[in-house]
């Protein structure tokens, strides 16, 4: 890493300032670069300018030999392509050896989601007379009502919630902002927590904060803390499924589409830049489409066909 510190530091600065990348994104870029630098050292490549298409192909082989999935390999190659594009622009290198490398197609995995029965069990486990129970209920209702990411939830401030119109201001990836509506159940849970439980928790720290969700000591919850809370709810509900914030995000999108929501509307709610990211949820609408078909198509089932046959006979 030290060998390429100047180029790496310049690239990180570019990510932070020009591309407005989050610390989480920068962390993965750095990790991918360090992995590639280790490969170059092992292969005896003396500098970034010396990397050719042949070294890139060899690196791909090494990644697949390590049994990495296609999504991870694709991310690493994409990171290095951006890195070399930056190096080329700044004059560190004269060519980008990654420019003609085709990214491996990612394995298409169907996102997991919760059924209504499983959700109902989760909604029933919290003690709403207890400040932590109120917080946990508000967390759960917020995730299901909005489909936000755990980082978006963790960074939510009191002023971001507008109860008068029932919307939340969400700061997503790259500090992109969007407004998301929320319903009556989330409204009740949030108002109960903010006006009661949160005040009780805040008294334990005596440190003012605008963060919505606090831990037992009265300081802002971390993303890890939110995940632990969900795990405890699952244990209380005696569910056999693994529940994490992103699964609640999947559930939000799945249930909306199953009830006939427009795909582009769901895209905006989720904060997806590309529609293709939202389309992974369309598989779950098959049951709804089948019901529509069975109810509407003239020859969908024998009962309807017989009735029409009778009508034709008349």
Q: What digits encode the pLDDT tens for the residues 189-208?
A: 999 999 999 999 999 998 89
**Catalytic site includes residue 272:** yes
Q: What is the pLDDT of residues 20-39, one digit of tens each?
A: 888 888 999 999 999 999 99
Which of 9, 189, 191, 31 is CA-nearest to residue 86? 9
Give domain limits for the chain.
2-90, 116-242
User: In angstroms, rounded to a whole number, what is the distance separating the alpha carbons of residues 46 and 54?
Assistant: 15
**Catalytic site includes residue 281:** yes
* pLDDT of 289 above 70: no
Active-site position among 75, 76, 81, 149: 149
CATH of domain 116-242: 1.10.443.10
Active-site position among 135, 249, 250, 255: 249
**Catalytic site includes residue 195:** no
What's this model's pTM, rounded to 2 decimal places? 0.60
pLDDT top residue among 46 and 233:
233
Residues 6+ apart with CB under 8 A from 238: 121
User: In angstroms, rounded to a whole number, what is the distance separating the alpha carbons of residues 296 and 306?
Assistant: 15
Active-site position among 4, 84, 92, 281: 281
The DSSP secondary-structure symbol of 111 reads P
Q: Give the DSSP H/E element, type plus range, for residue 15.
A: helix 5-17
CB 140 within 8 A of CB 122: yes
Active-site position among 70, 171, 173, 244: 173
- Residue ranges of the alpha helices (H) in 44-182? 53-65, 70-90, 116-123, 131-146, 150-154
Which 3 state secondary structure label does DSSP give 47?
Answer: coil
Architecture of domain 2-90: Orthogonal Bundle (1.10)
Active-site position among 81, 198, 255, 272: 272
**Catalytic site includes residue 312:** no
Q: What is the tally of helices (H) and strands (E) in the chain?
A: 15, 3
* pLDDT of 183 above 90: yes
The DSSP secondary-structure symbol of 195 reads I
**Catalytic site includes residue 198:** no
**Catalytic site includes residue 246:** yes
Q: What is the 3-state secondary structure (H, E, C) of 171-207?
A: ECHHHCEEEEECCHHHHHHHHHHHHHHHHHHHHHHCC
Backbone angles phi, psi at 47, to 5 degrees: -165, 165
Active-site position among 71, 121, 171, 246: 246
């Amino acid at each position: 890493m030290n060998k390429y510190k100047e180029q790496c530091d310049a690239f990180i600065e570019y990510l932070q300032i020009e591309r407005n990348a989050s610390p989480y994104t920068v962390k993965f870029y750095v990790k991918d670069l360090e992995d590639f630098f280790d490969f170059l050292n092992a292969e005896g490549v003396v500098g970034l300018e010396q990397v050719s298409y042949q070294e890139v192909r060899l690196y791909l082989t090494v990644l697949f030999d390590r049994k990495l999935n296609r999504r991870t390999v694709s991310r690493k190659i994409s990171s290095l392509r951006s890195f070399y594009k930056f190096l080329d622009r700044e004059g560190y290198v004269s060519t980008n050896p990654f420019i003609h490398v085709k990214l491996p197609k990612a394995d298409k995995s169907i996102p997991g989601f919760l059924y209504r029965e499983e959700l109902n069990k989760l909604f029933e486990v919290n003690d709403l007379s207890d400040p932590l129970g109120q917080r946990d209920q508000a967390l759960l209702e917020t995730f299901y009502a909005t489909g936000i990411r755990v980082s978006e939830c963790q960074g939510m401030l009191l002023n971001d919630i507008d109860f008068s119109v029932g919307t939340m201001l969400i700061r997503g990836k790259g500090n992109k902002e969007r407004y998301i509506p929320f319903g009556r159940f989330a409204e009740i849970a949030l108002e109960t927590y903010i006006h009661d439980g949160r005040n009780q928790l805040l008294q334990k720290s005596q440190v003012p904060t605008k963060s919505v969700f606090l831990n037992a000591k009265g300081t802002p919850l971390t993303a890890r803390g939110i995940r632990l809370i969900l795990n405890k709810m699952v244990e209380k509900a005696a569910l056999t499924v693994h529940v994490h914030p992103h699964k609640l995000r999947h559930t939000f999108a799945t249930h909306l589409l199953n009830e006939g929501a427009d795909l582009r509307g769901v895209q905006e709610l989720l904060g997806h830049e590309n529609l293709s990211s939202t389309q992974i949820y369309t598989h779950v609408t098959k049951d709804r489409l089948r019901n529509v078909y069975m109810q509407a198509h003239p020859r969908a089932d024998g009962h309807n066909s017989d009735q029409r046959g009778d009508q034709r006979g008349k």
